[in-house]
Amino acid sequence: MEVNTETELQPFSSRYQSEQDCMEALIAMKWPSGFVCPRCAHTRCSRLTSRHIPLFECGKCKHQTSPLVGTIFEGTHLPLLKWFKALELFLLEGGISAMRLSQVIRVTYKTAWLMLHKIRHAVGEFGARELLCGDVKVNSDQYGRNPSRCQFSHPYASAVVAGCTVTKSGEPEQVKIRLVPHKRGSEKRANRHDLTAFINEHVDVRTSVVQLFPQAFRLYMPLRKVVREAWESLKSTYGALGLKHLQAYLNEYTGRRRLLLSGELPGAEETMRQKLLQMCVEVPVLPYRRLIERQPNQPLAAAA
């Protein structure tokens, strides 16, 4: 995908032109009602600006903290401007590959790859906190398989459970797609036990009316369409994805889809960006060691 940096980055560039602009945006997001000491909850502080990253010292217990602590930006050596550009590009409709990001913001491929995983992690964790509620549909579906050309299924085709809330017109609004561990291959499907496990974990059953679609030939079609779009989109941006991080990419897709839906309203683009920034500020960074060790589908990874 071609990224036109001139036009795509224009709205961003006009708002955040310096490190200080970015830092102030982070501080405002972290402490929207003013400083709160993470140790004693005191609200008075002094701001020490002698360092590159500002420090806040609690007026009561003297604990010092930076706005980056507890965010995905903690410990970063990169300018925040590069991070903010990465967030902007992450919100492109198909997302952005690490290779492309590394070229646009001029960092190494490994740095770009890690930045995207950190953003993806924030979006995934944030999404996991929000249960589906209201009118909820749940499909036993498959990822990575085109039913009309099943001979071309992806080697990593996998059973998934997909769930969504629906708008008044029946369109999927908030969507979750979960890989079903151990059920790899184009003939495997999630059973009722898997659907129940999904509902227990991702649906607020007290406030929801849940409709199940456990049979392949009777799926909730608008939701099935989203799963296929996820497959097409991830395939075109990232190429072949192994199973190790696939769940994180699926979370990225559904998280971005939701952000973009909210940004369609006039004037809502800035709200959408602020929401993504909020996710990155509220979710602690994923340590590199945990990222590379992650094996969401342990038995599959062991078999691969």
> Considering beta carbons, is residue 30 or 145 the nearer one to Zn ion?
30
CB of 46 to Zn ion, least distance (A): 12
What 3-state class would DSSP assign to 144? coil
Contact 253, 90 (CB under 8 A): no
Residue recorded with tokens 């999630």: 190
How far is 249 from 158, CA to CA, in rounded Å?
14
Contact status, residue 94 vs residue 230, Cβ threshold 8 Å: no
Cβ–Cβ under 8 Å, residues 226 and 172: yes
Give whichever of 63 and 244 is closer to Zn ion, judged by the CB atom. 63
Quick one: 252 exposed, middle or buried, by C-beta within 10 A (0-12, 13-18, 19+)? buried
The backbone torsions φ and ψ at residue 137, rounded to the nearest 5 degrees and listed phi first, read: -115, 140
**Of 170-209, which residues contact Zn ion (CB under 5 A)?**
none
Which range touches Zn ion (CB under 5 A), out of 34-42, 106-114, 133-141, 259-267?
A: 34-42
Closer residue to Zn ion (CB): 58 or 72: 58
Binding to Zn ion (CB under 5 A) within 121-160 occurs at none
Stretch that binds Zn ion, among 35-43, 78-86, 154-162, 174-182 (CB under 5 A): 35-43
Measured distance CA(268)–CA(270) in Å, rounded: 6
How many residues touch Zn ion under the rule CB under 5 A: the total is 8
> Considering only residues 1, 11, 18, 61, which one is a binding residue for Zn ion as defined by CB under 5 A?
61
Question: Of the two residues 59 and 134, which places its CB atom closer to Zn ion in the complex?
Answer: 59
CA dist 163 and 226 (Å) reads 10
Nearer to Zn ion, 17 or 46 (CB): 46
37 binds Zn ion (CB under 5 A): yes
Minimal distance in Å, beta carbon 42 to Zn ion? 4
Cβ 76 to Zn ion, closest distance in Å?
A: 25
- Using CB under 5 A as the binding rule, whether residue 40 contacts Zn ion is answered as yes
Question: Cβ 37 to Zn ion, closest distance in Å?
Answer: 3
Strands 158-166 and 172-184, sheet pairing: antiparallel
Residue 11's H or E segment, with its range, is helix 10-15
End-to-end CA distance of the chain: 30
Residues 6 or more apart in contact with residue 140 via CB below 8 angstroms: 159, 161, 189, 190, 191, 194, 195, 213, 214, 215, 216, 219
Q: From 61-69, 161-169, 256-264, 275-283, give the range in contact with Zn ion by CB under 5 A.
A: 61-69
- Residue 45 binds Zn ion, judged by CB under 5 A: no
Binding Zn ion (rule: CB under 5 A), the pick from 58, 86, 159, 279 is 58
Distance between CA atoms of 296 and 247, rounded to whole angstroms?
8
Task: Decide if residue 63 touches Zn ion (CB under 5 A).
Answer: yes
Q: Which of 1, 11, 18, 39 binds Zn ion (CB under 5 A)?
A: 39
Binding site for Zn ion (CB under 5 A): 37, 39-40, 42, 58, 60-61, 63
